[in-house]
């Protein structure tokens, strides 16, 4: 095979190149030719095609995502914002947390186990590359209908992949979501979140400054896996040839990743790393161009030095390989011996493959010939930007007009409760979460099924300060709400995650998001996207929580049918004294049960309409962000004053499901009287900005005062105790019957 060198490219300007097959448009290819003043070599084409793919360049979303910056609320906590591998937040006492959520949707459909596993691996490396120790993971999962045959293929594989990879890494899995909806059949959503901890003064960045500094590739050897994975899999819509794409999914080795974690932390402590970047989508192409672009501007790399698992790989393939468990570091020449010694201790292969230069060019050689010579910024930062056309979907008005008011209301509310409680979306997720280690590292304070995961900050890290603090994390999203109104739907996703953090007693601080949509080339999908981003950016400003980073996943569609637009939002919060965390649900008998927040008749996109009537229409619940903020203030203040014995957020399925889950948490029943005169609305409406709390009788007045001060409606519903959920005059269900119905929802389908 002829080596396509820069010289050869100059000599053969008219050679036809397979840019279209690599996903590049005519004008994009022409732009590369304009930048270089010649045709690109095949290696350069490989670099530009992956770096300019939707997945890596955000070319369709960029113009909208800017709002997360321009509308960002002032936040003293934000240490590193968007644009780095992950955002970093000041959590006090000299500590910082870094967190991010990222999608691995398409690979998880093609090969569920490896797709989901490497999704965890990828996000963990993002967190490591910020200088942090990864301390926990969460997963936000969406599948087709639970009873659809392909869900039985995809779900067990995805759960096993997350379980195997995450458990082997020794990271507790502290929460997330599992949602079923037929719209995700053929396009499951696997969004993985990781959170890491570091000392505030030890943040690492992806940058390659200092001419003469060495470029070190370390971790696993490079193989043929995932070649073109990012661009082929994430930028092309599935038809039925997905089996032909199987080799494009990466294969993970969690053992190597665990060694990489420990190795990186020791490298950071020894202070022998100038800049660092993980190798994810687009592998060596991405790491070299991004490091060089953010550093002094130049880099020379000898691709022959890249350690290979498959010695037959061509340079183009090395550049595009997405082999997992690899990192790239920039190291001062004097520090190389210490760097190598640490890698050796952890049995992590490490190789110097190049050097930082001040030429402004990224130059790569193969067998002594120059095969790449480009300005790195043109690949990393100056990719195409599209102002995609968008317009409201043709059926949107009709969808909004078809409200749930026309649906027949139930007469037997007990039966409605049990039907909802045993439905896949509201039933217990233990079938999934019991496959995840939630205890490892010994700092898990709250995990599934709590509203948010919570961790104590207690890591052995030299120079770190003792602290009583903890962090809380929650992810939420509701594709049905977003389908009805993407602007409000995105705000409701944020509101729910924000509320889930607040009910544990933590103060919400910062946001990450994973925006899952159909094809950006469809103006109707693009409208959903632009509305969702606008809604989320507006809501972040109102709630005072900045977006620190995230990920966009487009092309989640089969043929012309897109998934429901699904913005998934993660919120990180801090609690000053982790011992004051509020437990989930009813903790002991004899407590007063209070409902905080206002209930309106809101059934558009509700679980009731979905489960009982298979209906989706009307408008989602109102997103009252001022009310959310007031509620969160009450919850965190009450928790800090030790007034709350238990709490639970109200969301899918409304008060009825919240009461049932609160009873199930510790097996403590309750007897309550509903406010208002419509029991159905009181029990099943999904109005936002509400929470259920239980308090000692003597704390009631203090909580009521607090609510009055912040204008949060507060209703005394009744008392905890007994072995049944009793709603006076409406229904009574023994807790054991609730448990039976709730816990059998998933085993009934998945065994």
Partner 1 sequence: MSAARVGIVTFPGTLDDQDAARAVRLAGAEAVPLWHADHDLKGVDAVFLPGGFSYGDYLRCGAISRFSPLMTELIPAAKAGLPVLGTCNGFQILCEAHLLPGALTRNEGLHYICRDQLIRVENTRTAWTSDFTDGQEILLPIKHGEGRYVADAATLAELESTGRVVFRYAGSNPNGSLNDIAGITNEAGNIVGLMPHPEHAVEELTGAPSVDGRHFFTSILKRLVNA
Residue closer to partner 1, measured from CB, 668 or 717: 668
Q: Give the interface segment with partner 1, choosing from 124-132, 197-205, 354-362, 433-441 (CB under 8 A).
A: 433-441
| Residues contacting partner 1: total by CB under 8 A | 32
Single residue of 25, 153, 255, 600 touching partner 1 by CB under 8 A = 255
Chain-centroid distance of CA 259 in Å reads 24
- Give the Cα separation of 111 and 248 in Å (integer): 10
Residues 6 or more apart whose CB falls under 8 angstroms from that of 397 comprise none
Tokens of 419: 């039907």
Residues numbered 130 to 169 that lie near partner 1 (CB under 8 A) are 160, 163-164, 167-169
Rank residues 227 and 455 by Cβ distance to partner 1 and give the closer one: 455
By CB under 8 A, name the one of 29, 436, 517, 715 that touches partner 1: 436
Contact by Cβ (8 Å): 418, 740: no
Task: Report the residue from 435, 671, 673, 743 that binds partner 1 according to the rule CB under 8 A.
Answer: 435
Question: Which is closer to partner 1, CB of 170 or CB of 182?
Answer: 170
Exactly one of 104, 106, 164, 610 is catalytic; which is it?
104
Position 118 contacts partner 1 (CB under 8 A): no
Token code pair at residue 488 = 């409000």
- Please, are residues 351 and 331 in contact by the beta-carbon 8 Å criterion? no
| Shortest Cβ 719–partner 1 spacing (Å) | 23
Q: Per CB under 8 A, which region of 112-120, 147-155, 247-255, 335-343 contacts partner 1?
A: 247-255
CA 134 → CA 109, 173, 194, 349, 582, distances in Å? 26, 11, 7, 21, 25
Work out whether 743 is an interface residue with partner 1 (CB under 8 A): no
**List 444, 551, 553, 636, residue binding partner 1 (CB under 8 A):** 444
Contact 485, 522 (CB under 8 A): no
| Residue closer to partner 1 (CB basis): 394 or 460 | 460
Known catalytic membership, residue 55? yes
> Considering beta carbons, is residue 33 or 441 the nearer one to partner 1?
441
If we measure between CA atoms, which residue out of 445, 500, 510 comes closest to residue 475? 500
**From CA 287, how far away is CA 322, in angstroms rounded?**
11
* 708 is an interface residue for partner 1 by CB under 8 A: no
CA distances 214 to 324, 339, 344, 666, Å, are 22, 11, 18, 56
Gap between the Cα atoms of 604 and 607, Å rounded: 9
Question: Nearer Cβ to partner 1, position 150 or 160?
Answer: 160
Q: How many CB atoms lie within 10 A of CB 631?
A: 28
Distance CA 179, CA 199 (A): 36
Quickly list H helices, 52-100: 54-57, 62-70
CB of 743 to partner 1, least distance (A): 12
Cα separation of 340 and 378, whole Å?
A: 32
Q: Which is nearer to partner 1, 4 or 257 (CB)?
A: 257
CB of 259 to partner 1, least distance (A): 6
442 lies in the site for partner 1, by CB under 8 A: yes
End-to-end CA distance of the chain: 52
* The one among 68, 109, 346, 527 contacting partner 1 by CB under 8 A: 346
CB of 578 to partner 1, least distance (A): 7
Whole-angstrom Cα Rg for the chain: 26
Provide the β-strand partners of residue 280. 282
**Applying CB under 8 A, does 639 fall inside the site for partner 1?**
no
Query: What's the min distance (Å) between Cβ of 27 and partner 1?
Result: 47
Smallest distance from partner 1 to CB 189, Å: 22
Q: Determine if 269 is a binding residue for partner 1 (CB under 8 A).
A: no
- Least separation in angstroms between residue 254's CB and partner 1 is 8
Bridge-based pairing of strands 214-219 and 298-302 is unpaired
Cα within 13 Å of Cα(569), Cβ side: 33
- Closest approach, Cβ 531 to partner 1, in A, equals 40
Give the Cα separation of 294 and 31 in Å (integer). Answer: 22
Whole-number minimum distance, CB 168 to partner 1, in Å?
5
Whether the bond into 92 is cis, omega within 30 of 0? no
CA-based nearest residue to 485, from 400, 568, 570: 400
Q: Does 578 bind partner 1 (CB under 8 A)?
A: yes
Position 441 contacts partner 1 (CB under 8 A)? yes
104 is catalytic: yes
**Residue 116 or residue 578: which is nearer to partner 1 going by CB?**
578
Choice between 326 and 388, CB closer to partner 1? 326
Stretch that binds partner 1, among 107-115, 442-450, 473-481, 502-510 (CB under 8 A): 442-450
Quick check: 460 binds partner 1 (CB under 8 A)?
Answer: yes
> How large is the greatest C-alpha to C-alpha distance in the chain, in angstroms?
88
Q: Please classify residue 132 by burial: count the beta carbons closer than 10 Å to its beta carbon, then call 0-12 exposed, 13-18 middle and 19+ buried.
A: buried
List active site positions: 55, 104
What is the binding site for partner 1 (CB under 8 A)? 160, 163-164, 167-170, 253-256, 258-259, 346-347, 433-445, 456, 460, 578-579
């Amino acid at each position: 095979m002829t080596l396509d060198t820069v010289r050869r490219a100059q000599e053969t300007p008219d050679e036809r190149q397979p840019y279209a097959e690599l996903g590049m448009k005519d004008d994009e290819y022409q732009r590369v030719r304009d930048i270089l003043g010649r045709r690109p070599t095949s290696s350069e084409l490989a670099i530009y095609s992956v770096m300019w793919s939707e997945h890596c360049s955000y070319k369709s979303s960029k113009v909208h995502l800017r709002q997360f910056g321009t509308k960002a609320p002032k936040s003293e906590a934000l240490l590193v914002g968007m644009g780095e591998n992950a955002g970093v937040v000041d959590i006090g006492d000299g500590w910082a947390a870094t967190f991010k959520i990222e999608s691995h949707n398409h690979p998880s459909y093609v090969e569920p186990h490896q797709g989901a596993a490497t999704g965890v691996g990828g996000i963990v490396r993002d967190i490591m590359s910020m200088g942090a120790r990864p301390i926990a993971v969460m997963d936000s999962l969406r599948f087709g209908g639970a009873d659809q045959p392909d869900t039985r293929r995809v779900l067990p594989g995805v759960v096993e992949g997350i379980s195997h990879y995450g458990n082997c890494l020794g990271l507790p899995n502290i929460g997330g979501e599992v949602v079923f909806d037929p719209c995700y059949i053929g396009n499951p959503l696997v969004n993985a979140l990781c959170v890491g901890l570091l000392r505030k003064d030890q943040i690492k960045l992806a940058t390659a400054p200092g001419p003469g500094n060495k470029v070190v590739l370390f971790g696993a050897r490079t193989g043929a896996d995932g070649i073109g994975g990012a661009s082929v899999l994430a930028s092309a819509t599935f038809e039925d040839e997905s089996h032909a794409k199987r080799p494009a999914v990466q294969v993970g080795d969690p053992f190597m990743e665990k060694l990489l974690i420990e190795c990186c932390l020791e490298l950071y402590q020894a202070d022998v790393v100038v800049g660092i970047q993980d190798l994810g989508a687009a592998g060596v192409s991405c790491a070299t161009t991004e490091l060089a672009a953010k550093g002094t501007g130049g880099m020379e790399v000898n691709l022959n030095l890249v350690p290979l698992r498959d010695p037959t790989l061509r340079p183009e393939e090395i550049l595009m390989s997405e082999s997992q468990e690899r990192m790239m570091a920039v190291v001062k020449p004097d520090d190389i011996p210490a760097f190598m010694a640490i890698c050796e201790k952890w049995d992590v292969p490490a190789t110097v493959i190049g050097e930082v230069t001040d030429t402004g060019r990224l130059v790569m050689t193969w067998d002594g010939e120059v095969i790449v010579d480009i300005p790195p910024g043109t690949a990393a930062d100056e990719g195409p930007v599209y102002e995609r056309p968008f317009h409201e979907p043709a059926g949107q008005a009709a969808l909004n007009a078809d409200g749930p008011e026309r649906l027949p209301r139930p007469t037997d509310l007990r039966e409605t409760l049990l039907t909802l409680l045993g439905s896949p979306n509201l039933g217990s997720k233990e079938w999934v979460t019991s496959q995840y280690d939630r205890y490892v590292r010994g700092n898990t304070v709250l995990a599934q099924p709590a509203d948010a995961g919570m961790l104590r900050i207690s890591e052995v890290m030299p120079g770190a300060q003792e602290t009583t603090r903890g962090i809380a994390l929650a992810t939420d999203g509701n594709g049905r709400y977003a389908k009805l109104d993407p602007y409000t739907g995105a705000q409701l996703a944020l509101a729910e995650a924000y509320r889930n953090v607040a009910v544990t007693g933590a103060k919400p601080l910062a946001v990450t998001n994973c925006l899952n949509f159909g094809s950006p080339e469809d103006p109707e999908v693009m409208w959903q996207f632009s509305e969702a981003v606008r809604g989320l950016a507006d809501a972040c400003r109102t709630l005072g929580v900045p977006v620190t980073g995230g990920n966009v996943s487009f092309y989640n569609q089969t043929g012309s049918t897109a998934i429901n637009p699904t913005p998934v939002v993660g919120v990180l919060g801090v609690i000053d004294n982790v011992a004051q965390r509020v437990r989930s649900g009813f903790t002991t008998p004899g407590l007063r049960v209070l409902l905080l927040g206002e209930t309106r008749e809101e059934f558009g996109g509700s679980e009731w309409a979905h489960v009982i009537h298979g209906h989706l229409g009307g408008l989602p619940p109102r997103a009252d962000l001022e009310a959310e903020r007031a509620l969160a203030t009450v919850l965190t203040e009450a928790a800090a004053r030790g007034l709350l014995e238990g709490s639970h957020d109200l969301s899918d399925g409304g008060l009825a499901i919240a009461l049932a889950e609160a009873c199930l948490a510790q097996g403590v029943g309750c007897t309550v009287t509903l406010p208002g005169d419509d029991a159905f609305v009181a029990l099943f409406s999904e109005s936002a900005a509400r929470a259920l709390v239980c308090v000692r009788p003597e704390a009631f007045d203090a909580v009521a005062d607090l609510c009055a001060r912040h204008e949060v409606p507060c209703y005394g519903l009744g008392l905890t105790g007994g072995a049944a959920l009793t709603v006076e005059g409406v229904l009574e269900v023994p807790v054991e019957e609730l448990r039976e119905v709730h816990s059998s929802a998933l085993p009934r389908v998945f065994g």
